[in-house]
Chain A
Amino acid sequence: MERHIPHFQEELEQLKARLLEMGGLAEDRLRLSVKSLVDRDLNAVERVLAGDAAINQLHIEIDDRCFKLLALHQPMAVDLRSIVSAVKINTDLERVGDLAVNIAEASRRYLQHAPVKELIDLPRMAVIAQDMLRSALDAFVRRDTRLAQAVLDRDDELDTLKTKVFRDLLNHMVKNQGVIEPSLDLILVSRHLERIGDHATNVAEDVIFMVSAKDVRHHAEESIG
Chain B
Amino acid sequence: MPVSVRPTVGPRAPTPSEPAASLPAETPIKIDVDRLNFYYGLKRALTDITLSMRAHVVTAFIGPSGCGKSTFLRTLNRMNDIIPGARVEGRASIDGRDIYASGTDVVALRRRVGMVFQKSNPFPKTIFDNVAYGIRINSLTRSRSRLGEMVEESLQNAALWDEVKDRLYDSALALSGGQQQRLCIARALAVQPEILLMDEPASALDPIATQRIEELIYLLKKTYTIVIVTHNMQQAARVSDFTAFFWLGKLIEFGSTDRIFTNPAEKLTEDYVTGRFG
Interface, chain A (partner B; CB < 8 A): 1, 4, 6-8, 67-68, 71-74
Contact = CB atoms under 8 A, between A and B. Distances in A.
Contacts, number: 29
Contacts of B262: 67-68, 71
B138 interface: no
Given A71-B261, A72-B261, A4 B238 contact: no
Given A7-B215, A8-B238, A1 B261 contact: no
Q: Which 5 A/B pairs are nearest by Cβ-Cβ distance? A: A72-B237, A71-B261, A71-B262, A7-B218, A74-B234
Contact of A4 (B161, B215, B261): B215
A50 B25 CA distance: 32
Contacts of B211: 6
Contacts of A68: 258, 262
10 contacts: A4-B159, A4-B215, A4-B219, A7-B215, A71-B237, A71-B258, A72-B257, A72-B261, A73-B237, A73-B238
Interface size bracket, B side: 10 to 19
Contacts of A74: 234, 237-238
A67 B257 CA distance: 13
Nearest to B155: A1
A185 B162 CA distance: 68
B156 interface: yes
A1 B159 contact: yes
Interface string B204-242: 000000010001001100000000000000100110000
Interface of B: 156, 159, 161-162, 211, 215, 218-219, 234, 237-238, 257-258, 261-262
A4 B258 CA distance: 24
Contacts of A8: 238
Contacts of A71: 237, 258, 261-262
Contacts of A72: 237-238, 257-258, 261
A71 B257 CA distance: 10
Nearest to B157: A1
Contacts of A4: 159, 215, 219
Contacts of B159: 1, 4
Given A8-B238, A72-B238, 16 more contacts: A1-B161, A1-B162, A4-B159, A4-B215, A6-B211, A6-B215, A7-B215, A67-B262, A68-B262, A71-B258, A71-B261, A72-B237, A73-B237, A73-B238, A74-B234, A74-B238
Contact of B156 (A1, A6, A67, A73): A1
Contacts of B234: 74
Nearest to B234: A74
B34 to A, nearest CB: 29
A12 B156 CA distance: 26
A29 to B, nearest CB: 27
A61 B258 CA distance: 14
Contacts of B156: 1
Nearest to A67: B262
A77 to B, nearest CB: 13
B188 to A, nearest CB: 17
